[in-house]
Amino acid sequence: MSLNATFCPHCGEDVPESNESFCGECGASLSALMPDTACPNCAEPIQDTDIYCRHCRYFVSMNC
């Protein structure tokens, strides 16, 4: 399991491989402090506040 984001957990944009802490598109944090749960699609760790899975871009928001 990896905590590095491949996609922004807020807007779903691609995240280039870098050490950036924030999404260049929307400014959301790319850091996962303590993953709360697992993505139902890929089982990677996500936070319950994520809208998109930061690993597979699966829409995980329950509050849309």
Question: What's the mean pLDDT in 46-61?
Answer: 91
pLDDT at 59 over 50: yes
- Residue 45, H or E segment: strand 45-46
pLDDT digits 0-9 by tens, 15-43: 887 678 889 999 998 877 777 789 999 99
Domain boundaries defined on the chain: 1-64
